[in-house]
Amino acid sequence: MLIVPKLKPNTPTLMDGEVRLFKRKHSKVWQIAFTLDGRQVRVSSKKRILNDAMAAACEIYLDYRFRQKNGLPVISKRFADVAALCRATMKQQLDNGVGKKRFRDYIIVIEKYLARCCQTNENSHQIASAA
């Protein structure tokens, strides 16, 4: 269940309330917050002026939505997600006849060694968080 934060009456919102702007304590720049794929995303606008921050917020939000629609990693910084994206891109290029021959070797390495390594790290993380 997604918990939507209670907004102050003067909280600037965009995109029908999907995107919220706020300032953190002791900060002069506006922060952007929105929910994507059930996960909260918070990004700095790097802007001090509200109108500039609103324009940046729209651009950043639309960029994240573009990534989501095109199957690109939206929020993830995990190696396994990046490796999976690389593998899929190389396989697609090979299937289309434009990939390099060495892509087959790279795919094998990702599947045989890196995927196994990432699964082991995920399992140990899950075990540690369950304890």
Q: Please answer whether residues 71 and 83 qualify as being in contact, where contact means their C-beta atoms are separated by less than 8 angstroms.
A: no
Q: Please answer whether residues 94 and 103 qualify as being in contact, where contact means their C-beta atoms are separated by less than 8 angstroms.
A: yes
Q: Please answer whether residues 87 and 80 qualify as being in contact, where contact means their C-beta atoms are separated by less than 8 angstroms.
A: no
The pLDDT score that the predictor gives to residue 85 is 82
The pLDDT score that the predictor gives to residue 118 is 60
The pLDDT score that the predictor gives to residue 84 is 82
The pLDDT score that the predictor gives to residue 45 is 92
- Tens-digit pLDDT string for the chain (131 aa): 455 556 666 778 888 888 999 998 889 999 999 988 788 889 999 999 999 999 999 999 999 999 888 877 776 667 777 788 888 899 999 999 998 999 999 999 888 887 666 654 444 444 333 33
Query: How far is residue 100 from each of residues 56, 89, 91, 106, measured CA to CA in Å?
Result: 38, 12, 10, 10
The pLDDT score that the predictor gives to residue 80 is 77
The pLDDT score that the predictor gives to residue 49 is 93
Query: How far is residue 30 from each of residues 27, 44, 67, 74, 112, measured CA to CA in Å?
Result: 8, 6, 23, 21, 44
The pLDDT score that the predictor gives to residue 91 is 93
The rounded Cα 17 to chain-centroid distance in angstroms is: 20
The pLDDT score that the predictor gives to residue 46 is 93
Backbone phi, then psi, for 38, in 5-degree steps?
Answer: 75, 5
The pLDDT score that the predictor gives to residue 130 is 39
Q: Domain-by-domain residue ranges, the chain?
A: 13-69, 79-130
